[in-house]
Amino acid sequence: MRKYMVMVILPVVSFFLSLSGCATGESVVAPAFYELRPERIAIVDISGDIRGDAPKNQVGEYFAMELIRRGYDVVERGRVESILKEQDFQRSDVTTSEGAARMGEVLNVPAVAMLDVNLVGEKLSLTGRIVDTETAVILWMGSGRGGSGQALATIGGAAAGAAAGSQVGGGSGRTVATVGGAVLGGAAGHTLAPQTARVVQRAIKRMIRGLPER
């Protein structure tokens, strides 16, 4: 009887875990963080496998939401984008700590944050950084991971992206290429699919738990 119950319960548990999109995360705080104790932060870059303004804004909002929950003031992303265009900042410059620090000086904030999102098969991983705008020293770093057992994609463009991705790989690599194409090719102008959005949100939440509260 007990063996039968285990056989029944395990699939049910696995099913609900796949629906919720389990996630893990960790972070490290540098000693310099406690010296600066920034109150105001600007998210200056969302990079990696997320393409297009709509999904990037969505991911940026999840990141900002968690920062606000921990007591930080976050510069509105539209303002950051406007400054990027006005000052003719290159995306490649913003992804470095030094470039991000220069951007922070323009925005008049003591610290800036960056988030890199990557996909390996059906698993999502992300890395976040907070950088001192005066010294370009990394104040905090965090990472988060998650998966749903489904192809992570965007609404609207996923099918086209998957088709493009499937032509990149063949044989055993075909599935990974198709899933990757769904994110890379389908993200332009489309929001994240609900399941992907939940996985990203949970991974960010787990990643940021180690960030000191204000």
- What are the residues facing 47 on neighbouring strands? 116
Task: Give domain status of residue 129, yes or no.
Answer: yes
- What are the residues facing 182 on neighbouring strands? none
Task: Give domain status of residue 50, yes or no.
Answer: yes
Please give the tally of structural domains in the chain: 1
Look at residues 152, 149, 147 and name the one whose alpha carbon lies nearest to residue 182. Answer: 152
Q: What is the pLDDT tens value at each position of the chain, 214 positions in all? A: 444 433 433 343 333 334 445 789 999 999 999 999 999 999 998 999 888 889 999 999 999 999 999 999 999 988 888 887 887 776 667 777 888 888 888 889 999 999 999 987 788 999 999 999 999 999 999 999 998 766 676 654 443 344 333 333 333 333 333 334 444 334 345 788 888 899 999 999 999 999 999 9
Task: Give domain status of residue 10, yes or no.
Answer: no
Residue 7's contacts (CB-CB under 8 Å, 6 or more residues apart) are none
Length of the chain: 214
Task: Give domain status of residue 179, yes or no.
Answer: no
Give, for 124, the enclosing helix (H) or strand (E).
strand 123-132
Task: Give domain status of residue 4, yes or no.
Answer: no
Give, for 105, the enclosing helix (H) or strand (E).
helix 97-107
* pLDDT for res 154: 61
Task: Give domain status of residue 132, yes or no.
Answer: yes
Q: Can you give the residue range of the structural domain that contains 57?
A: 21-149+194-210
Here the CATH number for the domain that contains residue 86 is: 3.40.50.10610
* pLDDT for res 156: 47
Residue 155's contacts (CB-CB under 8 Å, 6 or more residues apart) are 190, 191, 192, 193
Query: Token pair of 36, please?
Result: 């600066």
Task: Give domain status of residue 8, yes or no.
Answer: no
Look at residues 128, 91, 126, 125 and name the one whose alpha carbon lies nearest to residue 111. Answer: 128
The single residue listed with the structure tokens 């929001």 is: 191
* pLDDT for res 96: 79
* pLDDT for res 171: 37
> Can you say how many angstroms the Cα of residue 169 is from the centroid of all Cα atoms in its chain?
25
- How many CB atoms sit inside 10 A of residue 196's CB? 29
Task: Give domain status of residue 11, yes or no.
Answer: no
